Every structure is written in structure tokens, then in C-alpha cells.
């Protein structure tokens, strides 16, 4: 089955990003496809490569980048939400791309299920 995922909250502040990641990982391990993760609202903060957590903490941003690299997951950051919050191409982590809200709607149309993680 093909999944689309929406992440509405920033990393470290809220569990939404962790839950979404663990859901994606489990889905892929079960042989499903996660075609796109769409980052919206404060969720766009998952995409900054300037993130530097303490060494004993998980690196949420790198974890997403790795998922994109190893499983071809399309990580899309909403352009309007990103620009409002200072996320731009210059500080975008690997595997992420900035695009429009149409990508969210398209994920809803093309995926078999769209699952939202937020506050």
C-alpha cells in the first residue's frame, strides 16, 4: 500500500515528528511504500540542516534524510510555511525539497492512505 504522511509540528518540541518517523519506518519494514512526507506549519523546522542536538539525543533531521536516501521517500517542505519560518534552500537538509501545497493535495489523491501527525 502507498502512504502519504503529513507532519505539522517541529522536531524536539512535539512528539509528532518522532511518531511520524517511526510509523514510516514500520510501514517500509512491512513492505509498504511511503511515497511522500509533507512538512507543514512548524513541521517545516524538521528540514533545517543547522540542527545540532546533543550527542546523546536522536538526530531527527538526519533520520529523515536517511529515510529519503535509503527508501526514496520524497520529503517536501511547504514553501509558504517554510519562508515564514526562515527555512530556505540555503539551510535545507539532504533529501528535502521545498515546494507548494499542491504536493500535499497530490499526496492525498495518489496515496492509498494519508496519515497526519500534529498537535
Partner 1 sequence: MSEEGIKKFMFVNRKAPYGTVYALESLEVVLITAAFDQDVSLAFLDDGVYQLKKGQQTKGIETKNFSPTYRALEGYDIEKLYVEKEAMEARGLTEDDLLVDVTVLTRAEMGALMDEQDVLLSF
Partner 2 sequence: MLHIINQSPMSSSTLDTCLNVATGGDILLIEDAIYAATAGNAYEAKIKEAMSRFKVYALMPDIEARGLADRVLEGVSTVGYDGFVDLVVANSNCQSWL
Question: To the nearest whole angstrom, how small is the minimum distance from the Cβ of residue 90 to partner 2?
Answer: 31
Q: Which of 12, 25, 94, 97 binds partner 2 (CB under 8 A)?
A: 25
* Residue 22 binds to partner 2 (criterion: CB under 8 A): yes
The three grid cell numbers given for residue 14, joined into one nine-digit string: 512535539
Q: How many helices (H) and strands (E) does the chain have?
A: 4, 5
Mark 85-114 with x for binding to partner 2 (rule: CB under 8 A) and - for no binding. Answer: ----------------------------x-
Instruction: Establish whether 78 is a catalytic residue.
Output: yes
Task: Please state whether 9 falls in left (phi above 0), alpha (psi between -120 and 50) or beta.
Answer: beta
What's 112's DSSP letter?
S
What span, in angstroms and rounded, lies between the C-alpha atoms of 65 and 104?
A: 19
Q: Which does 26 bind (CB under 5 to 8 A by kind): partner 2, partner 1, none?
A: partner 2
Question: To the nearest whole angstrom, how small is the minimum distance from the Cβ of residue 51 to partner 1?
Answer: 21
Measured CA to CA in angstroms, residue 100 lies from 14, 62, 104, 105, 106 at distances of 24, 23, 8, 10, 10
The three grid cell numbers given for residue 61, joined into one nine-digit string: 533531521
Q: Within the chain, what is the greatest distance between any pair of CA atoms?
A: 40
Binding site for partner 1 (CB under 8 A): 6, 8, 40-41, 80-81, 100-102, 104-106, 108-109, 114, 116, 118
User: Would you name the residues annotated as active-site residues?
Assistant: 78
Binding site for partner 2 (CB under 8 A): 1, 3, 8, 15-16, 19, 22-23, 25-27, 29-30, 32, 113, 115-119
Amino acid at each position: 500500500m502507498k502512504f502519504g504522511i503529513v507532519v505539522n509540528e517541529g522536531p524536539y518540541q512535539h512528539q509528532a515528528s518522532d511518531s511520524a518517523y517511526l510509523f514510516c519506518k514500520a510501514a517500509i519494514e512491512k513492505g509498504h511504500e511511503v511515497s511522500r512526507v509533507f512538512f507543514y506549519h512548524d513541521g517545516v523546522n524538521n528540514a533545517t540542516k543547522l540542527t545540532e542536538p546533543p550527542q546523546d539525543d536522536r538526530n531527527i533531521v538526519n533520520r529523515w534524510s536517511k529515510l529519503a536516501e535509503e527508501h526514496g521517500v520524497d520529503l517536501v517542505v511547504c514553501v509558504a510555511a517554510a519562508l515564514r519560518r526562515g527555512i530556505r534552500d540555503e539551510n535545507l537538509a539532504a533529501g528535502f525539497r521545498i515546494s507548494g501545497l499542491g504536493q500535499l493535495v497530490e499526496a492525498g489523491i495518489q496515496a492509498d492512505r494519508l496519515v497526519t501527525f500534529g498537535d
